[in-house]
Structure 1
Amino acid sequence: MRWVLPLLIWCSLVAALARPIWVGEPVRLPAEGRDLMLAVDISGSMDTADMVLNDKNVNRLTVVKKVVDEFISARDGDRIGLILFGSNAYLQSPLTFDRETVRTFMQESALGLAGPKTSIGDAVALGVKRMRDNPAGNQVIVLLTDGTNTAGNIEPLRAADLAAELGVKVYSIGLGADSMKVPNFFGSRTVNPSRDLDEATLQTLAERTGGRFFRARNTEELNQIYDLIDELEPTERDKKVYRPERDVFFWPLAFALCLSALLLVTLRWPGLFEKILQPLQKAMPQRSDES
């Protein structure tokens, strides 16, 4: 009997080391959808307050957050990824069916987080790379920017060629109003806040990939992205069944820890359990010998 506890502890530890898993009920993944990589400009110029939202002047990034959030929410069945770019381009979220996570990342984006400049070519090239790593039938990059390529290692049109080779469409959207009033010494003057927007490059970039260029001067025009995505043909996917898995190794590990504590108690006070069990043994009915 003295080997029972050590044996049980050893068996529990072996079971924990085997890392048992719990397999849940099967979950059917969407059978069709699109692969959409959103590339969003968060450079310093996105702070320009030339947009109107709910009758208030707001900066460009505020409007983009609202429109993109609604766009992601409506894309049931699509795999969506997010790239944020400024002086550098960063993959904020890989292609995923988890729309809530992508929405959260978009809402948490901040001006200047990726640097003050604009690396359009790097953003598109990064999107193409992620599409190449996750091939599918219909892949689209939606590029949102308000400027021209002023940073990065890859020129936008070179990135467009890479996208065209892989069959990835790029839909580019140029953001920014054509005019806005700014205060000066004599009161105010009208300026063009989008004078740095390189529409020609954005249009060529889109056309080389079979996509389309959009000019968004206000919130209403930016919502054209919905019409654009609705026009895309869904990607046919093989129907897959996913069974969620969860580690349960902590149960045998916890059992081993409890038994170890029990073993330590028995070694420290050898007669303790006999004293505890004596009243129980006396209370049990004694079996009489049959004659």
Structure 2
Amino acid sequence: MSFVNPQFFWALIVPFVIFAFLISTNKERLARIFDEKVLKRLSATDESMPMVVRNILMLLALFLMIVAMARPVIEKGDRTVEVQGLTLLTALDISGSMRSTDVYPNRLTFAKKKMNTFFDAMPSDEIGVVAFAYSPFVLAPFSSDKETLKMMVEGVDDSYINMGSTDFSALGELASSLLEKKKPKILILFTDGGDEEAIAGFAEILKSNKIDLYVVLVGTEKGAPVIDENGKPFTLEDGTIAITQRNDALGELAKENDGAYVVASTGKEDIKQLVSVIKGKYQNQQKGEVTVKERVEYFYYPLGLGLLLLLISLSSMPRRRKV
């Protein structure tokens, strides 16, 4: 037998021993004040449990509760469990063009809602999240806890947006590192796209690392002005307002890279369509194995016995005699 939380036992056993010593050696307060004959008339009736026995029961109850807190278990070794689900890496675009308002209320917020819809549609899958623009970074490690993933994505606000150019090659390098030991390797972008020149190096990285690309494109072909951090349209050197359109080149790259893309729209049909494609393609690979420790818990035995002894000791508290 072993303990899951032995630190609780050693942290509490010392004060317990001190407490037990004080209880066993300390004379009753009443015995120090009253004469023995007077105390006898004020003491409990013969029906009550002797003080020594009651103290022993209470101390034994406390000791058993300490043992229960340490969680005694019998280890039965490791067991391999088969789990269902894929491992996917999602990436959220936080470049300056994501402030544009051609979708309500803006591209960034719209993309975040689409990511949350995607999380809901993949309940048993392990998903990681990165954010990317000029320099990509991990927003949330791989996890099957979708509520935590949603919370991390919701925390991305306007202050995260980077007005610099998007470095897709840096995103590709980060994705290849995070997906290095995963199989299959799946990357899903939530973005308003990128031009062919910007994604040229990205395409090579995906192919060399055998990463399947899927894209959720946000924005419209008509486009909208680029908005700066002050909420004003961004102007070029010649004074004209910068307009950004959705660029579908990434979608075409996804198709070339054994993936697919959808154009984000209101409702959930776009994400359902994408999830259907992903699950259909990898239906024979949605299995994995994890090793878990198999153990038998025994904490409820000392806990139950301790509570019983505590109840017995408290139910026998002395009652005053009527004078």
TM-score, normalised relative to structure 2 = 0.54
Which of 199, 214, 224 is 2:248 aligned to?
199
* Structure of greater Rg: 2
Aligned twin of 2:84: 32
Aligned twin of 1:79: 126
Q: Distance in 2 between matches of 1:99 and 1:198?
A: 29
Offset of residue 100 of structure 1: 2.0
Which of 84, 98, 101 is 2:148 aligned to?
101
TM-score, normalised relative to structure 1 = 0.59
Equivalences for residues 211-290 of structure 1 within 5 A:
211-216=259-264, 218-220=265-267, 223-232=269-278, 233-234=282-283, 235-243=285-293
Residues 115 and 237 (structure 1 numbering): CA distance in 2 closer, same or farther, change over 3 Å? same
Q: Distance in 1 between matches of 2:277 and 2:130?
A: 22
Aligned twin of 2:187: 141
Q: Distance in 2 between matches of 1:79 and 1:209?
A: 22
**In structure 2, the residue corresponding to 1:77 is in which secondary structure?**
coil
Q: Which amino acid aligns with 1:103?
A: K
Indicate if the aligned counterparts of 1:121 and 1:156 stay in contact, CA closer than 8 A. Answer: yes
Aligned twin of 1:251: none
Residues 43 and 119 (structure 1 numbering): CA distance in 2 closer, same or farther, change over 3 Å? same
Residues 238 and 45 (structure 1 numbering): CA distance in 2 closer, same or farther, change over 3 Å? closer
Unpaired stretches in structure 2, ≥5 consecutive residues: 1-12, 18-69, 226-232, 234-240, 296-323
1:158 equivalent to 2:201? Answer yes
Percent identity between the two aligned chains:
22
**In structure 2, the residue corresponding to 1:239 is in which secondary structure?**
strand
Q: Distance in 1 between matches of 2:107 and 2:294?
A: 40
Residues 223 and 28 (structure 1 numbering): CA distance in 2 closer, same or farther, change over 3 Å? farther
Offset of residue 237 of structure 1: 3.2
1:113 equivalent to 2:160? Answer yes
Indicate if the aligned counterparts of 1:30 and 1:239 stay in contact, CA closer than 8 A. Answer: yes
Q: Which amino acid aligns with 2:266?
A: T
Indicate if the aligned counterparts of 2:217 and 2:251 stay in contact, CA closer than 8 A. Answer: no
Indicate if the aligned counterparts of 2:86 and 2:287 stay in contact, CA closer than 8 A. Answer: no
1:173 equivalent to 2:216? Answer yes
Indicate if the aligned counterparts of 1:84 and 1:92 stay in contact, CA closer than 8 A. Answer: yes
Aligned twin of 1:253: none
**Residues 76-120 of structure 1: CA deviation (Å, up to 9, x unaligned):** 221101011122111111222222221111111123515223223
Indicate if the aligned counterparts of 1:46 and 1:111 stay in contact, CA closer than 8 A. Answer: no
1:209 equivalent to 2:257? Answer yes
Residues 29 and 120 (structure 1 numbering): CA distance in 2 closer, same or farther, change over 3 Å? farther
**In structure 2, the residue corresponding to 1:67 is in which secondary structure?**
helix
Q: Distance in 2 between matches of 1:22 and 1:45?
A: 57
Q: Distance in 2 between matches of 1:69 and 1:172?
A: 15
Q: Distance in 2 between matches of 1:36 and 1:239?
A: 16
Tell me the number of residue pairs that the alignment of Structure 1 and Structure 2 aligns. 209
Offset of residue 147 of structure 1: 4.5
Q: Which amino acid aligns with 1:47?
A: R
Indicate if the aligned counterparts of 2:223 and 2:244 stay in contact, CA closer than 8 A. Answer: no
**In structure 2, the residue corresponding to 1:40 is in which secondary structure?**
strand
Q: Which amino acid aligns with 1:48?
A: S
Q: Distance in 2 between matches of 1:164 and 1:181?
A: 33
Q: Which amino acid aligns with 2:273?
A: D
**In structure 2, the residue corresponding to 1:37 is in which secondary structure?**
strand
Q: Which amino acid aligns with 1:49?
A: T
Q: Which amino acid aligns with 2:206?
A: A
